[in-house]
Amino acid sequence: MNRALGVCYYPEHWPEEMWAQDAAEMVAAGISWVRIGEFAWSRIEPEPGQFAFDWLDRAIDVLSRAGLKIVLGTPTCTPPRWMLERFPDMLAVDAQGHPRGFGSRRHYCFSHAGYRRASGEIAEVLGDRYGRDGRVHAWQIDNEYGCHDTILSYSEAARDAFRSWLAERYGTIDALNEAWGNVFWSMEYRSFDEIDLPNLTVTQPNPSHELAFRRFSSDQVVAYHEVQVAALRAHTDAPLIHNYMGRVLDFDHFEVGASIDIASWDSYPIGFLSDRLDGSAEHKARYLQQGDPDMQAFHHDLYRAVGRDGRWWVMEQQPGPVNWAPHNPAPLPGMVRLWSWEAFAHGAEVVSYFRWRQAPFAQEQMHAGLKRPDNAPAPGLAEAAQVGREIAEMPQIALQQAPVALIFDYPSDWAWATLPQGEDFSYFRLMLDAYRALRRCGFSIDILPSTVTDLSAYALVLAPGLATVPDALQEALAQTVALVGPRSNAVTEELRIPIPMGPALRGLDVTATRVESLPPHVTRAVIGGGTVQHWVEDLDGTAETLLQAETGQAVLKGNRRLQYLGAWPDADLWERIIHGLAKEAGLTVLTLPEGLRLRDTATHRFAFNYGPDLVEFQGKTIRSADVSWWGI
């Protein structure tokens, strides 16, 4: 496995006289990749059809002469102002019906046919010029689909495209009315042209309508993306990459990933802890300057599954305080290095820092880089350089398949976001809780899509919250020890209650006959230890009751190979459940000090101390914000 460092650089932000020195310093820090261009459309095509490539040619020349490999971005997430004259109706529209205007970025609707064409054209122009240029070693398409909440757009373009999509999916309007149950509240349509987008309704729209819109919106991202893929493939054999985000689930990343070569993601551990994670005030204080101990690893494992043949990068790594979270503390000394090594231990080929130098202007002037705005080194630079030296010295690390898998499914998130039943029911939170529980027991984990059909190589598989369990997956689950639930196989793909009611799993007589959602801080004790919270099901059926709440409700039912969990466990209960499953699966459970996490490769065990205190583990002493590894 190769390992390398990269950095995000904006030559258009700096006087040309600085470029050569910047490039030399990057190389001196052990950086070998540089990503450029992804926001530079107004400099590449200042007027429609008039291209200015001289500066970009020179930037590529200077950077590659210094020994850097270039990732060139297509600039389609920042269409220039003149694009709006060409397509006044290209803006995305929010759920309140307001256009999302020019003056920042991502101001386009995925469904706008004209803008989609224009995106293909600029990719084509860039591909034509640089596709066979040996200095451009990889391409990034667009930047962070979904950033700033931009997947769902309620524009006229989206409405028209949605109607065609519905006609294609359902064939006849009667089939749609039947599938959605539109007899309810006289919502029946006489033709596809009568169907609007599911916003601005008096109260909640039909959940089937909303889920269909979410499926459609995801398909629009895929279709938009594939236009650029096709344009670039015609000109280049270099790998195509997209940079995904943390906890953005509004489109199916597996489907976007299917047409490109490498998945990458943008990792901002401290920003996420503040902005995007549930958790107690105590948890957030403890990890304030480190980030949540499982959030990064979760996404590393997820994007390893999204990348073709497991290929993935961190395209943007937080190097210091960011600007966009409610509060923006600095990383503890050591964390930039720890995050970088954690990514490599999970299989990243490249960890690329965002950004080289902090910009003294515009929206991100408060966002740290590896260098300060005045060009002095920022604290992150020395840590990056240390990682640069270490990866040069470290022998190859071979990855291996993890013993445990977690099934992750984007449409399940859309289903539960549409029909939460309890306002804090979050698919992501449920998945992260399950993942965290496994990691606290010391396991390395592979995340897999719900389309997987062979699980025979895994000792244990978890599929919580999987809204609809495909038949092939049910069969695959029978090859291993598996935990399903809560809320798994609970609805059909149209978001209706199936009859017979779920989970109706093959070989397991369990039915969830009633569900309750509970407000935060309400817990119900489970006999023998732990509690359930948020979500509790009444379970019926002949399967053996393995765990029971003090209310008498069965919490876990099943047999030695397949178990159904009918509630949302707290950390202690998760631990009990995992211990039980691990025993059936023949896996050894470890007890880790608080904040310590492991990752096993074929050759090494890595240990990451996210906690504030020094820990002792397996004969090693690991300081706070430090990483340690040893051969296994």
Block residue for tokens 């001289």: 54
Query: From residue 278, how far is each of 26, 386, 530, 536, 573 by CA, in Å?
Result: 36, 33, 20, 20, 19
- 89 CB-contact burial (10 Å; exposed 0-12 / middle 13-18 / buried 19+): middle
What is the secondary structure of 40-52 as a DSSP string? Answer: -HHHH-SBTTB--
In the three-class reduction of DSSP (H, G, I as helix; E, B as strand; rest coil), residue 313 is classed as strand
Helices (H), 346-409: 379-393
CB of 371 vs ligand GAL, minimal distance in Å: 16
Question: Cα Rg for the chain, rounded, in angstroms?
Answer: 25
Catalytic residue among 25, 144, 210, 383: 144
Nearer to ligand GAL, 252 or 316 (CB): 316
Look at residue 548 and give its three-state secondary structure: strand
Residue 441 annotated as binding site? no
Kindly state the smallest distance separating residue 375's Cβ from ligand GAL, in Å.
Answer: 20
Between 51 and 324, CB nearer to ligand GAL: 324
**Residue 629 is labelled as binding a ligand:** no
Task: Name residue 509's amino acid.
Answer: D
Residue showing tokens 């926001």: 39
Core vs surface per residue 361-385: b (16+ CB within 10 A) or e: eeeeeebbbbbbeeeebbebbebbb
Active site residue 316: yes
Which two three-digit tokens encode residue 223?
């279709």
The one catalytic residue in 316, 349, 383, 575 is: 316
Q: Which residues form the interface with ligand GAL (CB under 6 A)?
A: 143-144, 147, 266, 268, 316, 322, 324, 354, 364, 367
**Closer by beta carbon to ligand GAL, 144 or else 250:** 144
Task: Please state the closest distance from residue 611 (CB atom) to ligand GAL, in A.
Answer: 25
DSSP type of residue 99: B
Shortest distance, position 376 Cβ to ligand GAL, whole Å: 21
State the nearest-atom distance from the C-beta of 66 to ligand GAL, in Å: 23
Q: For residue 486, give both structure tokens.
A: 């809560």
Say whether 105 counts as a known binding-site residue. yes
Q: Is 2 marked as binding a ligand?
A: no
Gap between the Cα atoms of 30 and 384, Å rounded: 8
252 or 266, CB closer to ligand GAL? 266
CB of 317 to ligand GAL, least distance (A): 10
Q: DSSP letter at 125?
A: H
CB of 241 to ligand GAL, least distance (A): 13
Report the nearest approach of ligand GAL to the CB of residue 148 (Å). Answer: 9
Residue 7 to residues 22, 135, 322, Cα–Cα distance (Å): 11, 16, 16
User: In this complex, which beta carbon is closest to ligand GAL, that of residue 256 or of residue 461?
Assistant: 256
CB 103 → ligand GAL: shortest distance, Å?
15
Question: How many angstroms separate the CA atoms of 35 and 60, rounded?
Answer: 10
Residue number with CB closer to ligand GAL (299 or 557): 299
In this structure, what DSSP letter does residue 172 have? S
Nearer to ligand GAL, 353 or 408 (CB): 353
446: phi then psi, degrees, rounded to nearest 5 = -105, 135
- Upper half-sphere CA count for residue 221 (Cβ side, 13 Å): 30
Q: Please say whether the beta carbons of 240 and 233 come within 8 A.
A: yes
Q: Among positive and negative, which fits the CA dihedral 160, 166, 169, 170? A: negative
CA distance 503 to 473: 13
d(C-alpha 395, C-alpha 412), whole Å: 40
> What are the phi and psi torsion angles at 72 (to 5°)?
-100, 130
| Catalytic-residue membership of 194 | no
Contacts of 577 (CB under 8 A, 6+ apart): 437, 483, 547, 556, 563, 565, 569
Q: For ligand GAL, which is the closer residue by CB, 153 or 318?
A: 318
Name which of 316 and 575 has its Cβ closer to ligand GAL.
Answer: 316
Contact 57, 63 (CB under 8 A): no
Residues serving a catalytic function are 144, 316
Q: List the binding residues for Zn(2+).
A: 109
Q: List the binding residues for substrate.
A: 105, 143, 324
